[in-house]
Structure 1
Amino acid sequence: MFMFEMQMERLYLIIACMCAGLCTFASDGLVVADKESRNPIELASIAFLSADSAYVDGTITDERGIFRLPGRNTKPAKFIKISAVGYGNICKAISQLKGDTIFMTVDESTRLGEVTVKGIKQPFTVMSDKVVFDPGFVSYATNALDIVSVAPGIIDNGEGLVMPGKDGIKFYINGKEQKGTIKDAMMILKSYPSKNVAKVEIMTVPSPRYTLGQNVGVVNIVLKKQENDFLGGGVSYKLTQSDYTGNDATVYTTFRRDKFQTSLNLSGDISPYGFTESNRVPFDTYVRDADSWTKRSPMDFAGRWDISYKANENWDFSLTAYYSQGRMRQKSSHLYTYSETPDEPADERIVGRRKDDSKLYSGALDIDGRLSESARLTVTLDYLAKRSPTERSLMEGSAESQAYLDQKDNIRSSNLTAQTNLEIKASEKIKLDIGVNGIITKTKSDYDFYQINLPESKDRFNYTEKEINAYGRCNYTISSKMSVYGGLRYQYFHTSSESPVKADKINRHFSVVCPSLYLSYKIDNNQSLRGGYYYNIVMPTLSAVNPARLYLGKDYYRVGNPYLKRGRHYTIDLTYYYKSFQFGPYVEWYNNGIKEINYIDDDNNQVITWANAIDRRTFGFMTYWAYSKLDWLRFSITGSFANSLTKSNLPLLRPRVNSVTFTLRPNIQFIFDKESRFVGRIYGFFRTPEKTADMYIKSNWNFNASLTWKISKQWALTASGDCLLHGKTRGHQYLGDSEMSFSNEYLRRGFSLGISYNWGISTRAKSERRAVYDLNSRTKLD
């Protein structure tokens, strides 16, 4: 308790230092807004011209649509030119500007619901702290996932979305976090029609308010703002035929009236699939060959409900509820062949069954308020609960034989998060982002285990993690071309684990201060540089610290290490942007790294455990190139390269491993008509061999193709061939004194046919619509 009070006193001191010297600032800028909805327009391009129309200076509008006129030290400007994606250009004399708002009119060819998007010259825009991707580049897209999967810096490797150099991705929709796994996020993204996506923001070095010390990237999907009194939505269905038949369906609906807006997303997926696994393990006195065939029958459902209410011009309230349910049934058949034994070679057949049922509940309340022209407050309360019961059984010979092994485990976890963030504009050049948050995570795991010829055993594991974060970030604008971000984050952790069956209890307290520095420089209108340094710690997962024995197969179990310590992760990166090309080298250090370890115990069981066993140094880069100059062809290429050196003093791992890995993901679009109704797509994934401290994985690849027909503004039809060409996952794994070779085939060739329908209507009464029409006819704004 005394230690906790000391940590809280230190936290209060840090917050006081962050807040010292802050002052308010009155905005004197102009606002660019939509003429119909009166909503501000972000990222509008502002060009200041001289009397002879020569370029003088330029800027872009911020998230509130605000920009400011050139300073006194700038050459006098006579005209202003404003342009934004989806709007007609405006060119006026600065002396003719009236009021503090400039209204722009929507270009009819880019209205919501149209199937054509014209004038895609550059797929992404580089800002000081993020990259903004234009959805119009993805001409075949029917949902938000199609857009996000080809955004700069993101790779779809066939198993999910990854960001090179990052441990994961956090997804946000209109600034609200999408809870759950990557798979949950992908299911929800599939339910948003592509025409509703205004832009995609990719943050490789996001503010601490998003990451809270994790080495993750952030992707924020910004939806188009609906007009008032609007009811709309969309539905989609996809039928997939591979070894088995799969079904995928989504429903989306949204409604807005005055200050109230709500949306509901539902997504369901029933897609059984099969895969094969083969491995060979030499033991001390014999060699075991294992051949397995597995069928999995997952049934997943996800739903998201958003409610937002704008109380006045300064305060917004929103509520987000999320629910997901996963049901998976698995059947597997394993054939074990033993050879080079003193006796005759023997065969053994094992039949396995597995049943997983998981449920996740999440609710979040967000309060966003403008305290003044220079201060903005955000408060978030978030609760998440998850239940994951699992049953495993292995039978000798056939499914009707006596059970060789029965195991049941039930994991229940809850997470409560409270966060407060304050954005302050201290001056024209200084912006501050400070905040504090607290997280409490509790997990209870119960295990019931039976193995033939052994007594039944029970186990339990309780794990609690308490975390407090205080952070501050300062953005100093040196000039119109250069900005510097400096950040400081303080983290305090208290973890406790308990295994009542083993009478073992562990308590740990520690704190860490993590600095960060980031620089953004605009060379000219086509070129820019961004780079920085940041440090974070890596906490072990629940599986890694759980000491209970969990059998994954015959003679194959997992047991965690409750004494794991945190890892330390340092990164320096630099990214160069030129038009539609980006190249980003980086260097990272991972010290005291947490590593999964495989070995053979004294009873000839294959064991998985974890240890702080590695130090890794990596030099790599990520590159992205998009091309869209031709009317009939667009393509993007995402690639990553990593040269890593891993060292370990643990005898179960190799002492020194050097790995060079290259990943490539091409995505080619063929547009067969001027209105982009018929779009073909060829895309794939390729990875060269990869080495770790205990594993060597050979190269892998897959190749896919699709054809999209946008029948009308509402209807679209897509046919695709998945994994038309693909490779197996092959390699070998180091098991201490032995080495296992494996050859697994997880990808299966399949074909799918999908259809989607989008709709939208105005809910205003006929007389009201007529009155508005008459008023607009009589009133014309300049």
Structure 2
Amino acid sequence: MLKFPFFLLALFSVLSSRAQFNLSGKVTDQEFKALSFITVKISGSQNSVNYTQTDSLGFYAFKNLQTGKYLVVFSALNFKAVNQLFTLTKDTVINIQLQSHSNTLVDVQINARKALIEKQIDRTVFNVENSISAIGTDALELLSKVPGVRVLNDKVSLVGKGGVNVMINDKLLPLSDDELSNYLKSISSGNIAKIEVITNPPAKYDAQGNNGLVNIVLKKATAEGFKGSINTVFTQATYPTASAGGNLSYRKNKITLSTNFNIRKGSLVPFEQSDFFYPTQTWNIVNKDRNFRTVPSEQIGIDYQATPKTVLGLSYNGGLTNFHSEENIKTTIYNKAGNLDSVLNSDANAKIRSHYHSANVYLKQALDTTGKQLIINGDWFKYSDDKNRFFNNTSYSQNGEVIPDYFAEYLSTSKQNIGLYTLKADVDLPYKTFKFSFGTKLSFVNNQSDLAFYKVRNIAYELDPAQTNLFNYQENTQALYVNYNKSIKQWGFQVGLRGEYTQIDGISVNEQNSNEYFRIFPTLYIVYRANDKNTFSANYGRRINRPAYRKLNPFRWYSNQYAYTEGNPFLQPSYNDNIEISHTYHNILTSTLSFSHVTNGFNDVDFIDAGTNIQAAKPVNFITGNHYQFSNAITLNVFKWWESINQADVFYNVSNSSIAQTLSNLNGFGAYFSTLNQFVFNPSKTILGEASFWYQFPTVDGLNQNKSQYNLDLGIKALLLNKKIQLAITATDVLKTNRYRFNSLINNIRQEYNNYYDNRQLRVTFRYNFGNEKIKQQDRKPGNEEERKRSN
């Protein structure tokens, strides 16, 4: 009987000797601050040796160790090594505090300057911090400095390709052109890290947007300790504008806090002129406008490193725009002989108050130490505006007398609320021979608009029920995507597939439009690296362009008794198939040949009735077209003090129309050239200069014929007080040549436009940086990549 207990004791000893346990802990300095990248070496009795390093929070771990005696050594440059001998019989935690050497070397600051422009497999990156143009401006103005991107009348587009969707930190902005420009103007360029131009987005991104995406990546506050900056800007156009702001960030152990605030106040004087050539009359319309804006905005964010593998985040962005304008619209009417017939004068003023709120909840969970991770984003976005526009109309005869019964006063009002909720999950699974990722997204959009029209009768506003409208629009989308990436020797392949199922429901003036559809969007990338100097690539992608919400509302918005705009509740999405083939030589010259085919394309058409002179603008699906483009981008560093980024594009557009009121087709060539040059004027690199120029040759844009235009910008920047102070002076549109001129033909009535938007400006900027300058970069990209282009 005594043999059995001895047998159990022997069996327990053998099993215990084969048990596996974990060793973990945290390494700090004398002040208990976490130390990252500390080398940890462990050696056992069997001459086995393993190494690891502490992570960004000072944690380390060894797993699946046998029981026994071990020696663990903690070592790092500038710290005294610590040796510790212990016996492992269970999961063990060893926390170590390292002592710095008394003869520690002084800090060495290494400045690695990225290229101003970087070409990646699926995008072009503009590193904002390396451009003098980024000092003292806003996001919208900064976009105009990015090669290949154009900003005309506050509308963002790609050269030769038309409008483009804009994202902030991978989140698509669901705003119309006016609302998008107001939002971008509320973002200080000092808060922007880089701008990515993605002409053919991969499957990870939403399929929305026929012409690709522009992604604005904001800076992430990751400084250990306290850091911040303050800035002031004075801008002189026709009238002055002033702005001020600042940002603060603080990081301690597991917590990172960041915040910024900016405010801008001033006015601009846009000028618009148009001519309509009717069979018996010519109308010349001149709109002189001065608009005033006060735009405050704020942002606050917090990140918490819950565990070495888990990061939680919460952020909020908010902004307000107070806008009012003073307009005078003078319409001069000439008869067929060219003599004055009559004059229609309209005085108007508008007041717009808009605000937005955006919140993001973020979870990043590392699945292992090889890069596998899960990222979950929950986003809420709310945009509201309240618009009031008063205008009157007075008609004068050719001798200057008021025409009886032709004076009228009107008031248009509009209130809008947009709510957007999204939930997004992405899983990245990198393996030794390939990378695989997949994800899903749910989005819920609710848009409510309340519009009314009043006519003044006996000094009182009288509501016109026929011009009053409530518009409710809901859109829900569910999406799934998969993406596969693999490299074989000199070849690289990436294939993706995205499916989106959309349900929409819009109700307006007793009209209801309900629809649902499922679409597949494939993407394919192929890269061949022939040698160190030559890289060839090709890609294909299919995209969808859903209409802006306001384009679906059939309500009519009158600017005067002869002109109105209305939406189309039956407007359908359009689709694009895009192909690109490119070659890069020595990271200096990139040549790209691209082709795009659009089906069911839509646009606003000014339908003009020659009998009544009524001008009715309405969006319709009527365009089928092809776009061919050959682009060359070259980066030159002939001298150490001069960097030059140059781009030349030649394109050919073919547009076919399915409606009788327009030309059946319009084809034509176009060309664009731009050069962005940065100069260093002293050895310490504290005096910098910049000169940029672009020229747009006459071209065909849809069914419009655009005339040529060009633009010259100049700037100089000085870095003072150990580069803590930045002082910059920039001049935009120096020659006052950035004029938007085009013509079109509707119902055989020619229309000509000549617009200038007060682009010539002189800007003086002062910025002071303070606090800890030792930056540790941490990547975080929130989700919500849908809908944020299409509101109002």
What does 1:383-532 correspond to in 2, within 5 Å? 383-397=380-394, 404-425=409-430, 427-451=431-455, 456-457=464-465, 458-479=468-489, 481-499=490-508, 502-532=509-539
Q: Does 1:38 align with 2:49?
A: no
Give the superposition deviation at 1:755: 0.7
Larger deviation, residues 523-532 vs 411-420: 523-532
What does 1:275-314 correspond to in 2, within 5 Å? 275-314=270-309
Distance in 2 between residues matched to 1:220 and 1:744, nearest whole Å: 28
Distance in 1 between residues matched to 2:540 and 2:429, nearest whole Å: 23
Distance in 2 between residues matched to 1:561 and 1:151, nearest whole Å: 34
Q: Secondary structure at the match of 1:604?
A: coil
Larger deviation, residues 624-633 vs 413-422: 624-633
Distance in 1 between residues matched to 2:36 and 2:106, nearest whole Å: 12
Give the superposition deviation at 1:607: 1.0
Give the superposition deviation at 1:162: 4.2
For 2:359, the equivalent position in structure 1 comes to 363
Give the superposition deviation at 1:151: 5.5
Cα–Cα, structure 1 residues 333 and 551, in superposed 2: closer, same or farther, change >3 Å?
A: same
Q: Secondary structure at the match of 2:183?
A: helix
Unaligned runs of at least 5 residues, structure 1: 1-35, 41-62, 65-104, 112-116, 764-782
For 1:380, the equivalent position in structure 2 comes to 377
Distance in 2 between residues matched to 1:455 and 1:151, nearest whole Å: 47
CA deviation map 1:150-198 (0-9, x unaligned):
566545668465444474254444x7778863653464351338xxx5x
Aligned partner letter, 2:110:
T
Give the superposition deviation at 1:413: 1.0
Distance in 2 between residues matched to 1:123 and 1:298, nearest whole Å: 32
Distance in 1 between residues matched to 2:391 and 2:128, nearest whole Å: 49
For 1:725, the equivalent position in structure 2 comes to 735
Aligned residues of 1:648 and 1:693 also touching (Cα < 8 A): no
Aligned residues of 2:117 and 2:124 also touching (Cα < 8 A): yes
Larger deviation, residues 434-443 vs 283-292: 283-292
Name the structure where strand makes up a greater proportion of residues: 2
Aligned partner letter, 1:738:
I
Q: Secondary structure at the match of 1:293?
A: strand
For 1:89, the equivalent position in structure 2 comes to none
Cα RMSD over matched residues? 3.3
Give the superposition deviation at 1:321: 0.9
Distance in 2 between residues matched to 1:452 and 1:286, nearest whole Å: 30
Q: Which has the larger radius of gyration?
A: 2
Q: Secondary structure at the match of 2:733?
A: strand
For 1:14, the equivalent position in structure 2 comes to none
Give the superposition deviation at 1:222: 7.2
Cα–Cα, structure 1 residues 651 and 158, in superposed 2: closer, same or farther, change >3 Å?
A: closer
Give the superposition deviation at 1:255: 0.7
Give the superposition deviation at 1:666: 1.5
Cα–Cα, structure 1 residues 187 and 394, in superposed 2: closer, same or farther, change >3 Å?
A: closer
CA deviation map 1:86-134 (0-9, x unaligned):
xxxxxxxxxxxxxxxxxxx9994534xxxxx67x7x6555554555666
Distance in 1 between residues matched to 2:324 and 2:216, nearest whole Å: 34
Give the superposition deviation at 1:651: 1.0
Equivalent residue in structure 2 for 1:657, among 644, 666, 686: 666
Aligned residues of 1:545 and 1:560 also touching (Cα < 8 A): yes
Cα–Cα, structure 1 residues 170 and 339, in superposed 2: closer, same or farther, change >3 Å?
A: closer
Give the superposition deviation at 1:750: 2.7
Aligned residues of 2:132 and 2:717 also touching (Cα < 8 A): no
Aligned residues of 1:418 and 1:438 also touching (Cα < 8 A): yes
Give the superposition deviation at 1:384: 0.7
Cα–Cα, structure 1 residues 132 and 450, in superposed 2: closer, same or farther, change >3 Å?
A: closer
Q: Does 1:588 align with 2:596?
A: yes
Aligned residues of 2:221 and 2:258 also touching (Cα < 8 A): no
CA deviation map 1:535-559 (0-9, x unaligned):
1222111122110001234521111
For 1:547, the equivalent position in structure 2 comes to 554
Aligned partner letter, 2:191:
Y
Aligned residues of 1:130 and 1:204 also touching (Cα < 8 A): yes
Give the superposition deviation at 1:237: 1.0
Q: Secondary structure at the match of 2:204?
A: helix
Residue identity over aligned pairs, in percent, reads 17
Larger deviation, residues 599-608 vs 315-324: 599-608
CA deviation map 1:263-318 (0-9, x unaligned):
11222222311122222223354332222211111222222222111111211111
Cα–Cα, structure 1 residues 669 and 470, in superposed 2: closer, same or farther, change >3 Å?
A: same
What does 1:542-691 correspond to in 2, within 5 Å? 542-578=549-585, 579-601=587-609, 603-691=612-700
Distance in 1 between residues matched to 2:123 and 2:284, nearest whole Å: 51
What does 1:167-186 correspond to in 2, within 5 Å? 167-173=163-169, 181=180, 184-185=183-184
Give the superposition deviation at 1:429: 1.7
Cα–Cα, structure 1 residues 187 and 160, in superposed 2: closer, same or farther, change >3 Å?
A: farther
Aligned residues of 2:223 and 2:250 also touching (Cα < 8 A): no
CA deviation map 1:219-276 (0-9, x unaligned):
3637577443x11111111111221111122211111011111111222222311122
- Scaled by the length of structure 1, the TM-score of the pair is 0.76
CA deviation map 1:709-764 (0-9, x unaligned):
1122211111122221132322323232311222222234332211111111499x
Aligned residues of 1:582 and 1:623 also touching (Cα < 8 A): yes
Distance in 1 between residues matched to 2:280 and 2:590, nearest whole Å: 55
Aligned partner letter, 2:311:
D
Q: How many residues align?
A: 648
Give the superposition deviation at 1:632: 2.3
Cα–Cα, structure 1 residues 445 and 201, in superposed 2: closer, same or farther, change >3 Å?
A: closer
Aligned partner letter, 2:660:
P
Cα–Cα, structure 1 residues 166 and 260, in superposed 2: closer, same or farther, change >3 Å?
A: farther
For 2:25, the equivalent position in structure 1 comes to none
Equivalent residue in structure 2 for 1:250, among 238, 241, 245: 245
Distance in 1 between residues matched to 2:208 and 2:733, nearest whole Å: 37
Distance in 1 between residues matched to 2:594 and 2:377, nearest whole Å: 33
Q: Secondary structure at the match of 1:210?
A: coil
- Scaled by the length of structure 2, the TM-score of the pair is 0.75
CA deviation map 1:498-556 (0-9, x unaligned):
01xx3211211111112111112222223322321111222111122110001234521
Distance in 2 between residues matched to 1:741 and 1:152, nearest whole Å: 28
- Larger RCO (CA within 8 A; separation ≥ 6): 2
What does 1:676-715 correspond to in 2, within 5 Å? 676-712=685-721, 713-715=723-725
Q: Secondary structure at the match of 1:544?
A: helix
Aligned partner letter, 2:763:
S
Q: Secondary structure at the match of 1:562?
A: coil
Equivalent residue in structure 1 for 2:349, among 326, 339, 353: 353
Q: Does 1:110 align with 2:121?
A: no
Larger deviation, residues 542-551 vs 336-345: 336-345
Aligned partner letter, 2:654:
L
Q: Does 1:536 align with 2:543?
A: yes
Equivalent residue in structure 2 for 1:759, among 763, 770, 786: 770
Cα–Cα, structure 1 residues 403 and 356, in superposed 2: closer, same or farther, change >3 Å?
A: farther
Q: Secondary structure at the match of 2:734?
A: strand
Aligned partner letter, 1:438:
L
Distance in 1 between residues matched to 2:433 and 2:500, nearest whole Å: 28
Cα–Cα, structure 1 residues 470 and 182, in superposed 2: closer, same or farther, change >3 Å?
A: farther
Q: Does 1:741 align with 2:752?
A: yes
Aligned residues of 1:496 and 1:506 also touching (Cα < 8 A): yes
Aligned partner letter, 2:187:
I
Aligned partner letter, 2:674:
R
Aligned residues of 1:569 and 1:588 also touching (Cα < 8 A): yes
Distance in 2 between residues matched to 1:597 and 1:423, nearest whole Å: 45
Distance in 2 between residues matched to 1:412 and 1:141, nearest whole Å: 32
Q: Does 1:236 align with 2:198?
A: no
